[in-house]
Structure 1
């Protein structure tokens, strides 16, 4: 019998970790064959369903970093460890992590855009021999909205990872960088350009201008990868809610090479 692709699996929440006032990471007890950058559909019966990027995963769990800002996610905020969420997926195409091995990889992430790439960062954090170098350019709205602060501190201590952390607006206690991500691209080492790969994830306007900034430094379009956040309702290319031109983001994406992404418009 063919399984109905719309029927979710009830999965137990085994931990909940606050990241900010509205962002929480839920660890779910499930063994999924996940690629870096894929997403799942998360549901609560009689409430609704929403797409959430997998922020990390292991042999018997996945992490979902969820912002409590909508109908479904506000209901998720009421759940506790031991409660269950409906999960179906994973869906979409992830990042081609094998193409980044042996390269100088740059990951530029804005706000919640860090979640879809966190598993890539942690992979190369644990396996430094697989990469030549890793540079992280991370931007957030303000210090209170910095996600994964403990892990960022861990990445900063790694010898093979360079971290540039900035916020759009600082406060009295913030002693770090202030300014948009685009203003710090010039701090990256742009030697050996042919060996570079660049991943950019964040709001559409951030991805557009950050990509242009990298290309000013002679990074080629085919060296840039982006990920789109859309209302991916079905996840399997049937409903059309995520469609851009003739492209179903949930099926062909959410990860695209810039050579394809630059032509996707609403």
Structure 2
């Protein structure tokens, strides 16, 4: 016969948390030892990876989290949060609605850039960049994730700073720097033969960090969601203090373009 207790307790299995009355362990670490000693980036690493990072690795992850917290009300996810609040939603609902906006187009470029860098790395590193970029464009379209920016020209100010921190971490041995070299090689390839460069943007730079730190590509998007949630929360809270009801994407005086049948129905 099946042990009923085991049948229930084995319904979910996890190596993340062990708990009983009065005791909580995250990945084997007592919570009371983590509180006050582990930073939030270290906890993200521990919970998703199973171990604790070095101080240098945690600092790099922290930098990536800080860099991507917000990009203004014109970002769809931020606009969504603010509109949700004006519709009467509390902060948690506004945040949930906004995070759901972070898909392949808005919010997914970091994951895609990590995937691209890892493909290049698997094929031999920077020397493989021209061929892998060509194949990427053939299968995914001309857009190469992590490069160029419609707003920040000529340079996304976040990218050089993040790459500089990666270089410093490579000097101390916390990362080996090979993905930074790959990212720079992609940037050079995209700018080849053009009158203006196609510089690395925030997604490309944070992807360098996630790849250097050994995160799988899908986790890059999850971590970006954690980062952007800070900005989402801040904007939702600010909007709640400003007031406003049922604010749409444009002021009421502006109308959309209608291109349907003429008023009054079809003419005979």
Normalising by structure 2, report the TM-score: 0.27
Which structure has the greater CA radius of gyration?
2
Answer 1 or 2: which has greater helix percent: 2
Greater share of residues in strand: 1
Q: More relative contact order in 1 or in 2 (CA 8 Å, sep 6+)?
A: 2
